[in-house]
Amino acid sequence: MEIRIEKTTHPKEKPDQKNLGFGKYMTDHMFMVDWHKDEGWSNARIVPYAPLELDPACVVLHYAQETFEGLKAYRTAEGKIQLFRPEMNAKRMQRSNERLCMPTLPVEDFVQAVKALVKVEEDWVPSEPDTSLYIRPYMFSTEASLGVHMAAAYTFIIICCPVGAYYPTGLDPVKILVEDELVRAVKGGTGFTKCGGNYAGSILGQVKAEKLGYTQVLWLDGEERKYVEEVGTMNIMFKIAGEIYTAPIDNGTVLAGVTRDSMITLLRDWGYTVHEEKLAVDTLMKAGHDGTLEEVFGTGTAAVISPVGELRYKDDEVVIGDFKTGELTQKLYDTLTGIQWGRIEDTYGWTVTI
Ligand code: COI
């Protein structure tokens, strides 16, 4: 893919790296490429970051035909910049797009576009501890038409923003509410995709949880509301009596997280048994009460690893590990972030240098 580069003449002032938060400061440029049913992909370009001009009738604004991804670029102590498993994001976006009847961008074009944009924005990759450049690829239908159908035109964009921790609490434990009324996904739906609509539907649960003093929602399966699936912005893992449990991804309702996959690989290499299988919320709460629920942690690109210190389900509540970050959670965090920031040798071939 040939990429035209037009640099900005008005670079922005960079934000204070100690107060980045998440997703607040966009960089100077964005990548764009268009797709039309008669021409395929065309006009790949990196241009100054600017508002988009969209027809008010364009399909995405009415029927939410949009998918997205999230990955990060990390600055190592030597000043190198590296990505983490970007092909996994490219492939997952292809699966999301197939489900939403959207065109797929070839994996090598996705990775090339990410690399080219990060190269242009290299001065934006922060160097303070635990900061990175969050990269947000997304695609949506741009055709102006109110009929519900596969659109004739789409645009794929990548924007970036320097970020700190997703949760202001960092690696301190969060409180999670198990949602027992609303559902996020059902078999045959779009739960396994990263589409904007999945997140729009989850906001009400999030608002309810926040009102009650919880950081996030733990979703149960949409059919029986019996089995734990995933948290608002993360997959979730449970250490029960020394073994690890996490929801399976082959049911079509749970996102195939890149961090989830990396954690499972590390855990199995360290000799842990990892069960990718259905876990009933009743079994989980029982383990919380009988002392066998040792650690709970969420995994995701934005959040990295988020220890869970408290779980509430209906009127039942369990505190996990005295509301302290567990030993295994800490070890996983140190190992994963060590590989991502180049402090630990990457024996898995996960990092890609820009
Ligand atoms: C990510 O972890 O990259 C995500 O996409 C979660 C996001 C909804 C904040």
Measured from the CB, is residue 252 less than 6 Å from ligand 1? no
For ligand 1, pick from 199, 206, 233 the residue to mutate: most ligand atoms within 8 Å of CB: 233
Place of tokens 């195939």: 256
From CA 115, how far away is CA 352, in angstroms rounded?
Answer: 9
pLDDT tens profile 78-129:
999 999 999 999 999 999 999 999 999 999 999 999 999 999 999 999 999 9
From CA 301, how far away is CA 299, in angstroms rounded?
Answer: 7
> Can you say how many angstroms the Cα of residue 104 is from the centroid of all Cα atoms in its chain?
19
Q: What is the DSSP string of 292-352?
A: -EEEEEEEETTTEEEEEEEEEETTEEEE-GGGS--HHHHHHHHHHHHHHTTSS--TT--EE
Q: How far is CA 226 from CA 179, 186, 284, in A?
A: 11, 13, 11
How many Å lie between the centroid of ligand 1 and the Cα of residue 286?
A: 30
From CA 192, how far away is CA 92, in angstroms rounded?
Answer: 9
Percentage of the chain beyond pLDDT 70 is 99
How many Å lie between the centroid of ligand 1 and the Cα of residue 147?
A: 30
Measured from the CB, is residue 173 less than 6 Å from ligand 1? no
- One-letter amino acid at 84 equals F
In this predicted structure, what is the pLDDT of residue 281?
Answer: 98
Measured from the CB, is residue 235 less than 6 Å from ligand 1? no
pLDDT band at 171 (very low <50, low <70, confident <90, very high): confident
In the chain, how many H helices and how many E strands? 8, 18
From CA 229, how far away is CA 238, in angstroms rounded?
Answer: 11
Residue nearest to atom 6 of ligand 1 (CA): 233
pLDDT tens profile 262-319:
999 999 999 999 999 999 999 999 999 999 999 999 999 988 999 999 999 999 999 9
Q: Is-contact 354 118, C-beta < 8 A?
A: yes
From CA 18, how far away is CA 38, in angstroms rounded?
Answer: 48
Residue nearest to atom 7 of ligand 1 (CA): 233
In this predicted structure, what is the pLDDT of residue 302?
Answer: 87
pLDDT tens profile 17-43:
999 999 999 999 999 999 999 999 999
Tokens encoding 65: 């035909």
Measured from the CB, is residue 89 less than 6 Å from ligand 1? no
